[in-house]
Amino acid sequence: MTLLLTRGDVADLLPMDACIEAVEHAFRLHGEGRADPPGILGVHARDGGFHIKAGILDLGRRYFAAKTNANFPGNPERFGLPTIQGVLLLADAERGTPLALMDSAEITALRTGAATAVAARHLASPEAAVVTVCGCGLQGRVQLRALAAVLRLTRAYAFDRDPARAAGFAREMSQALGFEVLAADDLDMAVRASHVCVTCTPSRTPILRHTSVAPGTFIAAVGADNEDKQEIEPALMASCAIVVDVLEQSATIGDLHHAITAGVVTTRDVRAELGQVVAGLRPGRLTDDEIVVFDSTGMALQDVAAAAAVYERAVRAGRGLEVNLTA
């Protein structure tokens, strides 16, 4: 039998702390070379696109997951629909048996935030207490929740092209997290006052520039998940210590890709993949003053780890609808 799990099921079954631990374990396995290389396929569509990510992890039981996500940034305004929609198939990687079909939007949001939290745990200053979130949609909310789970945050700045959206974000997240969240009109000023900056926007032109970032800042560049998106100025990338999730992938679709195209860095300038840092095989931050950027393009192994955690918790809790797909 195959379990059908809704977005609500996924949200209930996977608290942020559990997702962070699952994703960190996936990065460690990847860094140690104990995970099969993940795969990705992108298909452009008018006003958006689709991407398929797949991978296998041995978590005591071998799991395969394939996620199909649709990303249409105009959906909320045009149709009242989410930007990201999709489905994830989780299967037994020994027998090929479909174990679960689940909403992929919640998985994507949670594991993306969790990846930033893992990166911050290993790359941000231990004293980091102030963060700027650039992009005040769903992902911005998840990013701030995830960072609050691993850092002792005392203040956050929220920036969005829509000031009203930033103001609403600030009110909501202040109440939810119990520390001061302020709407920022000036992104440069907010970033200079922060120890951590997360960019999670659909921008196609740089929004974060080298003149805006103070020494010692940790940057999580989250939004550039295809070759057309860009958030970080190439000159800023060139001045940073660069850590990526998957080098081959970041070199073709992430902010690293744009810096390479601009001729200011090469793949040899990348310090490490995050999994290598987590596994202790390569260094993360070397000095208090260096700016470290994590180019987060989204690794399929994050999806496998998060989906497996959801499935195992669903089985124990008796959640989901069992269906026989072969009937």
Mean pLDDT, rounded, for 5-29: 97
Residue-level pLDDT at 190: 97
Split at pLDDT 50, 70, 90, the class of 228 is: confident
Residue-level pLDDT at 85: 93
Q: Please say whether the beta carbons of 168 and 146 come within 8 A.
A: no
CA-only gyration radius of the chain, Å = 19
Q: Which residue out of 28, 51, 67, 319 is catalytically annotated?
A: 67
Q: Is 229 part of the annotated catalytic residue set?
A: no
With H, G, I as helix, E, B as strand and everything else as coil, classify residue 323. strand
Q: Which domains does the chain have, with CATH numbers?
A: 2-108+301-323 (3.30.1780.10), 118-299 (3.40.50.720)
Cα 151 to the center of its chain, rounded Å: 17
Residue-level pLDDT at 158: 98
- Give the neighbor-by-neighbor strand order of the sheet with 98-103: 39-45, 48-58, 62-71, 84-92, 98-103, 2-5, 321-323
Q: How far, in Å, are 1, 23, 64 from residue 277 at the CA level?
A: 39, 14, 24
With H, G, I as helix, E, B as strand and everything else as coil, classify residue 103. strand
pLDDT at residue 41 tops 80: yes
pLDDT, tens only, 89-116: 999 999 999 999 999 999 999 999 999 9
d(CA 145, CA 163): 21
Stated pTM of the model: 0.94
Residue-level pLDDT at 226: 78
Q: Mean pLDDT across the chain, nearest whole number?
A: 95
Split at pLDDT 50, 70, 90, the class of 36 is: confident
pLDDT, tens only, 230-251: 999 999 999 999 999 999 999 9
